[in-house]
Amino acid sequence: MNPKGHAALVTGGASGLGEGTAMKLAAAGCKVTILDMNMDLARAVAAKIGGHAEPCDVSDEASTVAALNGATAKFGVPRILVNCAGIGGAKRIVGKEGPMPLAHFQKIVNVNLSGTFNVTRLFAADLQHEPALEAGERGIVIMTASVAAFEGQIGQAAYAASKGGIRALILPAAREFAQFGIRVNGIAPGIFKTPMMAGMRDDVQKSLAEAIPFPKLLGTPEEYAMLALHMVENRYLNGELVRLDGAIRMAPR
C-alpha cells in the first residue's frame, strides 16, 4: 500500500529501531503515533517528525487500549502497525545462583511476545471496520523478532523464546487477517547499533561486527526502517519473517 496520508503506530518508537521507523514512515507521509513507556524520548521524537506520542506499556491491556484510543482520536484509525517495543536481558536457565527466577523469564516473554500480540489484536480489531483500499487491502502489521529466534545463544533462553514466539505468530496471524486485507510480516534483525547495544564497550561492539560476514558493521535503524517501509509498500509480501543480518549466524556463546 502507499503509506502516504495514513495513520501509523510504532511501538517502542522513542528509541533505536522504532525511532528510525517512525522517522522513515513520517518522511513517507504517514501520520505517526509513537507508543512507548519513555515519554520524554517519545515526545522528542514525535516533535521532530510532526507526530504524536502516547504513553503505553504494550504488555498491559488497559494502557494499550487507552493509547490506541488516543492515537485514533489524533490521526484516525491507524492502518500501519510496527511493533518495535522490546527488552533484552541475559541469564542462564541454571546459573551460579541457581535456576533462573521464573519472573525473569515471564517478564521478557510478557513484554516481547504478549506485548506484540496485545497491540496487534487491538489494532486489527479496529482496522477491520475501516473501508478497504486498492485490491481489498486494509493495512499491515510488522513484528520485530531477532536472529535469536533462529540461533539463541547461551544466556538468551528467555529472549530467544520470546522472539521464537513472534516468529511462530506471524503466519497464523497473516492467515487469519487475510479476510480483513491486513498483512502480517516480521523482521529478524541481527546486531544493530541502537541504545540497546550502545551500552556495550567499543571493543565488544567491534568484535560483534567482526563476526558479521558482510558488511562488517552493526546494522543501523535506517536499514531496519528501509525494510519496514518496503514491507508496507509491497502488497505481495505477507506471512514472512525476513532476516536482516549481514548473513550472521550466531554461535552458541
The residue within the footprint of ligand NAD, chosen from 146, 156, 185, 238 (CB under 6 A), is 146
Secondary structure (H, E, C), 3-56:
CCCCEEEEECCCCHHHHHHHHHHHHCCCEEEEEECCHHHHHHHHHHHCCEEEEC
- Residues shown for the chain: 253
- Closest Cα to residue 24, out of 40, 37, 10? 10
- Please, are residues 117 and 11 in contact by the beta-carbon 8 Å criterion? no
- Please, are residues 221 and 12 in contact by the beta-carbon 8 Å criterion? no
**Residue 178 CB, nearest distance to ligand NAD (Å)?**
25
The residue within the footprint of ligand NAD, chosen from 11, 21, 33, 238 (CB under 6 A), is 11
The three-point CA angle 226-232-234 to 5° equals: 95
**Which x/- pattern over 193-212 shows residues binding ligand NAD (rule: CB under 6 A)?**
-xxxx---------------
Nearer to ligand NAD, 85 or 141 (CB): 85
The residue within the footprint of ligand NAD, chosen from 7, 8, 12, 53 (CB under 6 A), is 12
Residue 159 annotated to the active site:
yes
The residue within the footprint of ligand NAD, chosen from 3, 16, 78, 181 (CB under 6 A), is 16
Nearer to ligand NAD, 56 or 124 (CB): 56
Question: Is residue 174 classed as helix, strand or coil in its secondary structure?
Answer: helix
Distance CA(3)–CA(1), nearest Å, equals 6
* Nine-digit cell string for 108: 521478557
Cβ-proximal residues to 46 (8 Å cutoff; 6+ apart), any chain: 22, 32, 33, 34, 52, 53
**Residue 244 CB, nearest distance to ligand NAD (Å)?**
9
Nearer to ligand NAD, 87 or 168 (CB): 87
Nearer to ligand NAD, 1 or 57 (CB): 57
Q: Which of residues 166-195 bind ligand NAD (CB under 6 A)?
A: 189, 191-192, 194-195
The footprint of ligand NAD on this chain (CB under 6 A) covers a number of residues equal to 30
Question: Is residue 163 classed as helix, strand or coil in its secondary structure?
Answer: helix
- Please, are residues 246 and 45 in contact by the beta-carbon 8 Å criterion? no
Active-site entry in 117, 159, 177, 224: 159
Q: Which of residues 32-91 bind ligand NAD (CB under 6 A)?
A: 36-38, 56-59, 84-87
The residue within the footprint of ligand NAD, chosen from 1, 6, 10, 15 (CB under 6 A), is 15
Nearer to ligand NAD, 116 or 238 (CB): 116
Catalytic residues: 159
Residues that bind ligand NAD (CB under 6 A): 11-12, 14-18, 36-38, 56-59, 84-87, 111-112, 115, 144, 146, 189, 191-192, 194-197
